[in-house]
Amino acid sequence: MSKIYYGLIGLRLGHSFSAGYFNDRFARENIDAEYKLFEIPSVEGISTIISRYPTLRGLNVTIPYKQDVLPLLDRLTDEAAAIGAVNTIRIERGADGKVIALTGHNTDAEGFSQAIAPLLDGRRRALMLGLGGASKAVGYALRRLGVEVTPVSRRPAEGVLTYADLSEEIVHAHDIIVNCTPLGMWPDTDSAPDLPYRYVDGRHLCFDLVYNPEVTKFMRLCEERGARVSNGLQMLRNQADLAYEFWNEGSEAASTCITSTPTDADSASTADIESAATVRKVMSRRIDMISPDGSVETHGLSIATLWLDVEGCVVKAEIEAYTRESEGVEYFDTPLIIRIGCKFKS
């Protein structure tokens, strides 16, 4: 079988983390694949790349093409359509190798949600700096997490604050600040959003989507004022893993499954629960709970409390939406499938 290719399209990719991340994974897992960087002067260059690599299976999309690429795609996932920006493209080919469809998806939103959710700690109002493609995913993710979002831009617009509007009262009324601009990204490391940093304090969580350098000027200025800070590296890892799942959707490796031979019991008895040898809490961005009748209940970012017998079979499971950081929770990068009577394989 020929080597499979994946890649990243963008205008300037010298800062990119993706090639090293994916190629290290391919080497570690003995996958005959390679991830390449494609710097193109216009988004129309995507057609040349696809023609040149007949085994190209998927692409990531970065600045400035996350919205420009939309007219070139055959279809969008529901999430990409809702966000209005694409960072992942699956290339579907027929048996003859010809392209059947280009499907656009957005993994930025879920990747960001997974990264910021453990840090929220009750914070519920965000200033979102920038209006580019990344901000669309961030705004979508924050609202799904129950966070009120106020966009901020250099240019005045309806429903948008400018940096000049950011008074002490407004900054203090928002306990999350997310930098969705490329300001501070290598090589322009001495730049930062024009925020009144003197109003930032210990109540704030300041999240920078930039990950190179590891500590940006925005993060440094906020941390000096006592804020909790984070860069975009974990978000990037999350969205990369989600993209790989999307490119290879349907493969056996797409999810972590809790499987075995189910018991005949429709539900756990009190004796079963009392005799449980172990109680574990697990967390994933997606948990599918399969009931005894075979129906599936899907949960987004959630924590499952599992009661396991001495053989490791699930005798009871309770699922709750993730709201804040909790001790003793094991995090899984892949979706989980839970079924009463099945062994827990971690």
Q: How far apart are the first and last CA of the chain?
A: 31
Catalytic residue ranges: 66
Is there a common fold for 4-106 and 110-235?
yes
Listed residue (210, 145, 133, 215) closest to 176, CA to CA: 145
Burial of residue 50 (CB within 10 Å: 0-12, 13-18, 19+) is middle
Tokens matching residue 174 = 């928002």
Report residue 267 CA to chain centroid gap: 34
Listed residue (169, 172, 139, 142) closest to 153, CA to CA: 139
Mean pLDDT of 196-222: 97
The interaxial angle of helices 233-247 and 18-28, nearest 10 deg, is 60
Note the pLDDT of residue 337: 74
Cβ atoms 142, 174 nearer than 8 A: no
Note the pLDDT of residue 256: 35
Burial of residue 305 (CB within 10 Å: 0-12, 13-18, 19+) is middle
Pick the CATH number of 110-235 from 3.40.50.720, 1.10.10.10, 3.40.190.10, 3.50.30.10: 3.40.50.720
Pick the CATH number of 4-106 from 3.10.150.10, 3.30.565.10, 3.60.20.40, 3.40.50.10860: 3.40.50.10860
Q: Would you list the DSSP string of 273-305? A: HHT-SEEEEEEES-EEEE-TTS-EEEESSEEEE
List the strands of the sheet with 329-331, edge to edge: 314-321, 302-308, 278-284, 329-331
Note the pLDDT of residue 291: 65
Note the pLDDT of residue 111: 95
Note the pLDDT of residue 311: 74
Q: Would you list the DSSP string of 93-150? A: E-TTS-EEEEEEE--HHHHHHHHHGGG-TT--EEEEE--SHHHHHHHHHHHHTT-EEE
Note the pLDDT of residue 308: 85
Q: How far apart are CA 147 and CA 7, in angstroms?
A: 33
Q: How far apart are CA 222 and CA 199, in angstroms?
A: 9
Mean pLDDT of 111-128: 97
Given a cut of 70, whether residue 258 has pLDDT beyond it is: no
Given a cut of 60, whether residue 293 has pLDDT beyond it is: no
Q: Grade residue 257 by pLDDT with cuts at 50, 70 and 90.
A: very low
Note the pLDDT of residue 266: 41
Q: How far apart are CA 117 and CA 234, in angstroms?
A: 12
Note the pLDDT of residue 301: 83
Given a cut of 60, whether residue 173 has pLDDT beyond it is: yes
**Beta strand 287-290 pairing with 296-299:** antiparallel
Given a cut of 50, whether residue 261 has pLDDT beyond it is: no
Mean pLDDT of 158-183: 97
Burial of residue 56 (CB within 10 Å: 0-12, 13-18, 19+) is buried
Given a cut of 50, whether residue 260 has pLDDT beyond it is: no
Q: How far apart are CA 10 and CA 16, in angstroms?
A: 10
Residue 266's SS3 state is coil
**Annotated domain spans of the chain:** 4-106, 110-235, 255-339
Mean pLDDT of 210-228: 97
Note the pLDDT of residue 196: 98
Highest mean pLDDT among 86-95, 125-134, 167-176: 167-176
CB crowding 192-231: b at 16 or more within 10 Å, else e: bbebebeebeeebbbbbbbbbbeebbbbebbeeeebbbbb
